């Protein structure tokens, strides 16, 4: 019954989406006056998908094996949290989560949006319904999560052990909130292009959506990076895997959008450009979904290779992106220009930010899709990896990071004073960092060294907007911006330090052997079997010391029986100045064990930086919301009555 209820809720939601689309189009042609009704339809549609998703969680929590998806991906012996989180650890479930976020975002837009004009909102809700319809069709026709099996099997096949990790509970939902949250920016842009109401009001309406989606994307990517780092046992935090790029591309586009939207909201300028970025950002989300979900790529994210699904998703992508760009081409040129600005101004600083981000986005996009194009055209197989992305995008990212320190110092419209005077302290920081790294570490690579120098510069420059004024009275969003930019410096420092100073040791050890890695002496004390709820393992005991009291690490190789798989469980110990990362390999015939050890100085700064960036975004969101609330209360003293 539960599964059928979920399926019924999905069909109903799809019907309502069709209704929402038709009513929206009719209302736009002024045939009916449907504003309030469309809002209600959108809210009910969102609620129905939430119900469908709750039903899926329920069948997974109860391990109802008569549901095909549960049979394929769950097992009665699995820990409870992975039973529930396993609901989105597969193709159908994750697409249902996608659609749920899409419809729920539409519902929240319908409930909360007061900033845009009624017609633009109706058009946006119609666009959101059109998006949802395609993905409902995809779910119901090609990826039904609620399909039954008759008779019900006795036991499930289990979940991929790599996914049996707390990361599964956090990484996909945050990433999807970000991916799909961008759909609202897309729909608002499409709506505003349809009604030709692209103005600063639209910018202010779009901004919280973009900011919230961007925060979630930042958190989701950061969490995914750390998860891959500790789970895969390769000691790397970013592999330039196409699936990672699939999440990076919407983030780059959303970051550009986040900045250009400020120009639109504050000055009414960059209209066409901002609309295009809003379209591109969600298009990148859809490209990412296509890359990950269609099975054209192989990774732990590609759950099944199914050409039918791939074609379906590609068709959806082509329809939506094609329609949005056509609309943009027709309407973009008719947009009136906003307030003009001089060559040296906050606006042009943000234009440069946008151009650089777009160039990086294009480079990542081309590098990610190039192998697919080549294989489709010539049948030749090739892969594009870290060497390409680091060499081509790395220097641009460093240039961008330098400009991040300078841009916020410029004033709107026209900067009259030279900014160089303000940059003396950051410049000193950069020179000191350069000198120190040359003296202490003469042999590190050019890119990591520049990374450290730029990080020092940016760390000092990013706080300048708070210097020379009463920092406590500065707007909350200024604090948010400063924090986010500081987070970039922190993450950059972590990346550069990890690249420059990591020591690695790969060795074969017998019991009692002592290995040196960085400042550490690591002794293999023993290897013993151990067991968990649904796995058995071989566990090494390592005693590590660097002068002070020794610590014990226990890396494992785990054996799962459902499905039969081995995984490496790295043992990682975090210190203020780095992480000691240990992995146990295979025994050789003489009884010696392979050990892989890393000392990674300041590697944790990478994810700390990601967290700080997201926190800065959150401050910006809260600050703007508080201010809007205060303004509204002043202007409309009895605003509460509207909700009575």
Query: What is the closest distance, in whole angstroms, from the C-beta atom of residue 367 to other proteins in the complex?
Result: 6
Burial class (CB in 10 A: 0-12, 13-18, 19+), 446: exposed
Q: Is 342 in the site for other proteins (CB under 8 A)?
A: yes
Q: CB-wise, 232 or 327, nearer to other proteins?
A: 232
DSSP state of 518: T
Angstrom distance (rounded) from CA 165 to CA 175: 16
Q: CB-wise, 510 or 530, nearer to other proteins?
A: 510
Interface stretch with other proteins, choices 140-148, 199-207, 317-325, 339-347 (CB under 8 A): 339-347
542, 571 Cβ separation under 8 angstroms:
yes
Q: Is 461 in the site for other proteins (CB under 8 A)?
A: no
Query: What is the closest distance, in whole angstroms, from the C-beta atom of residue 288 to other proteins in the complex?
Result: 18
61, 73 Cβ separation under 8 angstroms:
no
Q: Is 260 in the site for other proteins (CB under 8 A)?
A: no
Q: CB-wise, 218 or 567, nearer to other proteins?
A: 567
* DSSP codes, 283-337: HHHHHHHHHHHSSSS-STT-----HHHHHHHHHHHHHHHHHHHHHHHHHHTTPPP
Closest of 172, 184, 174, 211 to residue 108, by C-alpha:
184
Q: Is 89 in the site for other proteins (CB under 8 A)?
A: no
- Pick one of 16, 124, 162, 223: the residue that binds other proteins (CB under 8 A): 162
- Pick one of 31, 155, 337, 636: the residue that binds other proteins (CB under 8 A): 337
Angstrom distance (rounded) from CA 485 to CA 353: 13
98, 180 Cβ separation under 8 angstroms:
yes
- Pick one of 1, 343, 440, 644: the residue that binds other proteins (CB under 8 A): 343
Closest of 345, 614, 623 to residue 473, by C-alpha:
623
Query: What is the closest distance, in whole angstroms, from the C-beta atom of residue 376 to other proteins in the complex?
Result: 13
Q: CB-wise, 15 or 236, nearer to other proteins?
A: 236
Closest of 60, 188, 176, 173 to residue 124, by C-alpha:
188
Query: What is the closest distance, in whole angstroms, from the C-beta atom of residue 357 to other proteins in the complex?
Result: 10
Give whole-number Cα distances, 352 to 36, 287, 406, in Å: 41, 25, 11
Angstrom distance (rounded) from CA 204 to CA 264: 8
Q: Is 507 in the site for other proteins (CB under 8 A)?
A: yes
Q: Is 511 in the site for other proteins (CB under 8 A)?
A: no
Instruction: State which H helix or E strand residue 91 sits in.
Output: helix 91-112
Q: Is 447 in the site for other proteins (CB under 8 A)?
A: no
Angstrom distance (rounded) from CA 531 to CA 534: 8
Query: What is the closest distance, in whole angstroms, from the C-beta atom of residue 362 to other proteins in the complex?
Result: 4
Q: CB-wise, 475 or 585, nearer to other proteins?
A: 585
Query: What is the closest distance, in whole angstroms, from the C-beta atom of residue 551 to other proteins in the complex?
Result: 22
Q: Is 302 in the site for other proteins (CB under 8 A)?
A: yes
- Pick one of 149, 363, 419, 427: the residue that binds other proteins (CB under 8 A): 363
Burial class (CB in 10 A: 0-12, 13-18, 19+), 636: exposed
- Pick one of 88, 179, 238, 273: the residue that binds other proteins (CB under 8 A): 273
Q: Is 253 in the site for other proteins (CB under 8 A)?
A: no
- Pick one of 31, 81, 155, 298: the residue that binds other proteins (CB under 8 A): 298
Burial class (CB in 10 A: 0-12, 13-18, 19+), 1: exposed
Binding residues for other proteins, total number by CB under 8 A: 59
Starting at the edge strand that comes first in sequence, how are the strands of the sheet with 571-575 ordered?
Answer: 503-509, 593-601, 578-587, 571-575
Query: What is the closest distance, in whole angstroms, from the C-beta atom of residue 355 to other proteins in the complex?
Result: 4
* DSSP codes, 56-72: HHHHHHTT-TTBHHHHH
User: According to CB under 8 A, which residues from 365 to 394 bind other proteins?
Assistant: 366-367, 370-371, 380-385, 387-388, 391-392
Instruction: State which H helix or E strand residue 579 sits in.
Output: strand 578-587
Which tokens in the block code for residue 427?
A: 């410049």
What are the contacts of 526-534 at 24+ separation with CB within 8 A?
A: 527/584, 527/587, 527/593, 530/556, 532/558, 533/77, 533/78, 533/79, 534/75, 534/77, 534/78, 534/79, 534/158, 534/164, 534/560, 534/561, 534/562
Q: CB-wise, 4 or 504, nearer to other proteins?
A: 504
Q: Is 552 in the site for other proteins (CB under 8 A)?
A: no
Q: Is 66 in the site for other proteins (CB under 8 A)?
A: no
- The 10 Å Cβ neighbour count of residue 17 is 30
Q: CB-wise, 224 or 609, nearer to other proteins?
A: 224
DSSP state of 148: B
User: According to CB under 8 A, which residues from 387 to 446 bind other proteins?
Assistant: 387-388, 391-392, 396
Interface stretch with other proteins, choices 59-67, 111-119, 206-214, 556-564 (CB under 8 A): 556-564
- Pick one of 596, 600, 607, 621: the residue that binds other proteins (CB under 8 A): 596
Q: Is 329 in the site for other proteins (CB under 8 A)?
A: no
Q: CB-wise, 179 or 273, nearer to other proteins?
A: 273
- Pick one of 514, 588, 627, 631: the residue that binds other proteins (CB under 8 A): 588
Binding pattern for the stretch 612-631 against other proteins, x by CB under 8 A and - elsewhere: --------------------
- Judged by phi (left if over 0) then psi (alpha if -120 to 50, else beta), residue 30 lies in left
- Pick one of 160, 187, 255, 462: the residue that binds other proteins (CB under 8 A): 160
Applying CB under 8 A, the residues found at the interface with other proteins are 160, 162, 270, 273, 295-296, 298-300, 302-305, 337, 340-343, 351, 355-356, 358-360, 362-363, 366-367, 370-371, 380-385, 387-388, 391-392, 396, 506-508, 557, 563-568, 583, 585-586, 588-589, 592, 594, 596
């Amino acid at each position: 019954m539960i599964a059928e209820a979920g399926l019924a809720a999905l069909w109903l939601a799809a019907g309502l989406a069709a209704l929402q689309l038709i009513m929206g189009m009719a209302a736009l042609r002024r045939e009916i006056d449907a504003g309030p009704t469309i809002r209600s339809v959108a809210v009910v549609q969102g609620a129905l998908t939430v119900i469908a998703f709750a039903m899926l969680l329920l069948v997974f929590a109860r391990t109802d094996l008569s549901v095909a998806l549960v049979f394929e991906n769950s097992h009665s012996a699995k820990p409870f949290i992975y039973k529930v989180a396993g609901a989105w650890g597969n193709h159908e479930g994750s697409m249902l989560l996608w659609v749920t976020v899409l419809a729920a975002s539409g519902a929240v837009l319908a409930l909360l949006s007061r900033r845009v004009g009624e017609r633009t909102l109706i058009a946006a809700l119609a666009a959101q319904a059109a998006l949802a319809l395609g993905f409902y069709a995809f779910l119901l026709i090609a990826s039904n999560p609620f399909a039954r099996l008759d008779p019900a099997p006795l036991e499930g096949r289990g979940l991929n052990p790599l996914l049996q990790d707390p990361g599964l509970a956090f990484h996909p939902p945050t990433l999807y909130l970000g991916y799909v949250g961008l759909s609202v920016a897309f729909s608002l842009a499409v709506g505003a292009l349809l009604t030709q109401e692209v103005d600063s009001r639209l910018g202010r309406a779009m901004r919280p959506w973009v900011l919230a989606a961007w925060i979630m994307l930042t958190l989701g990517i950061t969490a995914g990076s750390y998860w891959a780092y500790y789970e895969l046992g390769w000691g790397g935090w970013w592999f330039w895997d196409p699936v990672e790029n699939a999440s990076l591309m919407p983030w780059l586009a959303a970051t550009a959008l986040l900045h250009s939207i400020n120009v639109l909201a504050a000055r009414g300028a960059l209209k066409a450009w901002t609309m295009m970025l809003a379209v591109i950002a969600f298009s990148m989300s859809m490209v990412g979904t296509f890359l990950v979900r269609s099975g054209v790529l192989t990774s732990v994210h590609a759950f099944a290779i199914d050409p039918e699904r791939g074609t379906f998703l590609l068709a959806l992508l082509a329809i939506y992106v094609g329609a949005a760009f056509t609309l943009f081409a027709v309407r973009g040129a008719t947009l009136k220009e906003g307030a003009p600005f001089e060559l040296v101004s906050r606006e042009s600083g943000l234009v440069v930010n946008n151009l650089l981000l777009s160039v990086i986005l294009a480079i990542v996009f081309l590098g990610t899709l190039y192998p697919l194009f080549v294989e489709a055209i010539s049948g030749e197989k090739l892969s594009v990896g870290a060497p390409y992305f680091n060499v081509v995008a790395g220097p641009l990212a460093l240039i961008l990071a330098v400009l991040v320190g300078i841009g916020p110092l410029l004033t709107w419209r026209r900067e009259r004073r030279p900014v160089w005077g303000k940059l003396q302290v950051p410049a000193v920081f950069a020179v000191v960092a350069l000198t120190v790294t040359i003296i202490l570490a003469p042999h590190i690579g050019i890119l990591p060294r520049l990374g450290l120098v730029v990080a020092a510069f940016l760390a000092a420059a990013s706080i300048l907007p708070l210097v020379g004024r009463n920092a406590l009275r500065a707007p909350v969003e200024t604090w948010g911006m400063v924090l986010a930019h500081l987070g970039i410096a922190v993450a950059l420092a972590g990346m550069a330090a990890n690249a420059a100073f990591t020591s690695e040791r790969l060795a074969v050890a017998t019991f009692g052997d002592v290995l040196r890695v960085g400042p550490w002496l690591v002794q293999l004390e023993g290897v013993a079997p151990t067991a968990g709820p649904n796995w058995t393992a071989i566990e090494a005991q390592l005693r590590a010391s660097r002068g002070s009291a020794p610590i014990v690490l226990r890396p494992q190789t785990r054996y799962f029986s459902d499905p039969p798989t081995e995984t490496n469980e790295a043992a990682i110990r975090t210190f203020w100045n780095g992480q000691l990362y240990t992995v146990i390999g295979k025994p050789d015939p003489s009884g010696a064990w392979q050990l892989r050890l890393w000392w990674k100085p300041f590697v944790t700064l990478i994810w700390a930086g990601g967290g700080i960036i997201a926190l800065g975004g959150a401050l910006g969101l809260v600050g703007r919301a508080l201010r809007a609330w205060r303004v509204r209360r002043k202007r409309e003293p009895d605003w509460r009555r509207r909700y009575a």
